[in-house]
Amino acid sequence: ILVLWDKSYLDANLCEGNVFFHKFKYGDIRIEVEYLYTMDYLSCVLSAYKQTRNDLYKEKYLELFEMFVEYIKNENIFENVTELDLPIMGQILVVIKAVDILGYIPHKDVIVSLFIKYADWLMNDENYSFNNNHGLFLDLALLHLSVFLREHPDSEQWQKHALERTKKLFSVAYYD
């Protein structure tokens, strides 16, 4: 569907069934899952729709987003990914981008519920990387959630915690 998409990495059009259940033929399981979770392909489809307003791209986004919703309903995301910083951040950004371009969130209740689970996971310092860029991605994800779900009663706490950890991260990772 997209001429500029790197099909050597993933051609979503050639995957049988749900693309989010697809396993690459290469051996690096982290890349296999992380790449799909970041939803780069969905982002590219949204960009193409925004630029062209061709409904083909919108329909492809909605088709793939349906697959993502099916996937998150059937998988425990927290058990299947070795590093969740980029996948979580990617999912949040793609949903925000979809709201900007489409004006709504498909399966809003499911996605908001997932994002609240992410916020709980992101708030737990046991899941945090205090000495490298992975911690920064976790904090960015939490900050985005605090704004995107600003009506949630814990959103201010999410924001405060992310900012505090970011300050600590900079003092450890960049100044020690």
pLDDT in the model for residue 82: 57
Prediction pTM value: 0.84
pLDDT in the model for residue 97: 97
Phi, psi at residue 61, to the nearest 5°? -60, -50
pLDDT in the model for residue 51: 94
Burial classification of residue 85, based on how many CB atoms lie within 10 Å of its CB (0-12 exposed, 13-18 middle, 19 or more buried): buried
Rounded to whole angstroms, how far apart are CA atoms 57 and 60? 5
Structure tokens at 117: 């689970």
pLDDT in the model for residue 44: 85
Give the E-state strand segments of 22-175 in sequence order.
none
Please report, in tens digits, the pLDDT of each residue of the chain (176 residues total): 455 445 544 555 566 677 776 665 555 544 555 555 567 888 888 999 999 999 999 998 999 899 889 988 887 777 755 577 888 898 999 999 999 999 999 999 999 999 999 999 999 999 898 888 888 999 999 999 999 999 999 999 999 999 999 999 888 776 65
Rounded to whole angstroms, how far apart are CA atoms 10 and 41? 9
Is 49 within 8 Å of 63 (Cβ atoms)? no
Which of 89, 2, 75 minimizes the C-alpha distance to 38?
89
Rounded to whole angstroms, how far apart are CA atoms 73 and 117? 13
pLDDT in the model for residue 170: 84
pLDDT in the model for residue 76: 78
